[in-house]
A = this chain, B = another copy of it.
Amino acid sequence: MTRTSDAPALAPSGTSGAGDDVTRVAVSTVIFTLRRVAGTDRVQVAIPLVRRTRDPHQGLWALPGGWLDIAEDLDGAASRTLAETTGLAPSYLEQLYAFGAVDRSPTRVVSIVYWALIRPDEIVDDVENVAWFDAADLPPLAFDHNGIVDYALWRLRNKVGYSRIAHGLLGDEFTLAELREVYESILGRRLDPANFRRQVENSGTLIPTDRFRTGSHRPARLYRDNQEAELADRGPLGGRH
């Protein structure tokens, strides 16, 4: 099944007789991952988009999403529509913003937008009508989705500064250099390896393992996420996805 959020040609699935005079609720997600650029040593932020197969905006790329079911929480709708359209099940999923401008779609649609992080090993490729794009160089998207991605990128850059979400883009075990590369590609600037090491070690968010990543030069110690660490991240909403 291939769907994108916002205004398909039909009424919301599973409801009876709701006409064009009601506001419908859609759920979409901006999914971030990191991708090594072929032939270079650069890493870029990439997001999956879904090609629309019906009007409005048929043929354009759009954020994955779909309609909110009547018996489904918002978080659940985000997870479900994501799985249905892209086959992905992100390790990190958080609500971003509710977009509801009257003219953002031909019919009235309020989109609850989520943003998600996904690890390279979780990526499912070769899904029909799904393609991955460089987040910094997107084509014109359907609806107001370009602006939504911009806002999600802003939130990602912001949050990476005071939270430990960057771990959500890596596998279970990773080296400090790999973690640093995540920060560098999101923030768009180089970080001092020595200072980065100390900051992240003192933050208590990492647990050193006794395993090492070998293969290149001197082996680098592998670390994993410290689940015990305070997140103080989303306040009273808490929630783990």
Contact = CB atoms under 8 A, between A and B. Distances in A.
Interface of A: 12, 15-19, 21-25, 68, 70-74, 95, 97-102, 108, 110, 112, 147, 150-151, 154-155, 158, 235-237
Contacts of A16: 19, 21
Contacts of A101: 73-74
A235 B95 contact: no
Chain B CB within 10 A, most for which of A15, A98, A150, A151 = A98
Contacts of A154: 235-236
Chain B CB within 10 A, most for which of A70, A95, A100 = A100
Nearest to A110: B25
A155 B235 contact: yes
Given A15-B22, A22-B18, A73-B100, A110 B68 contact: yes
21 contacts: A15-B22, A16-B19, A16-B21, A18-B21, A22-B22, A22-B70, A23-B68, A23-B70, A25-B25, A25-B100, A68-B110, A70-B108, A71-B102, A73-B100, A74-B99, A98-B112, A147-B236, A150-B235, A150-B236, A154-B235, A158-B235
Total copies of the chain: 2
Contacts of A72: 102
Contacts of A108: 70-71
A228 to B, nearest CB: 21
A155 B21 CA distance: 35
Nearest to A155: B235
Chain B CB within 10 A, most for which of A72, A112, A150, A236 = A236
Contact of A74 (B18, B24, B95, B100): B100
Chain B CB within 10 A, most for which of A95, A99, A237 = A237
A42 to B, nearest CB: 24
A24 B25 CA distance: 8
A151 B236 contact: yes
A66 B8 CA distance: 27
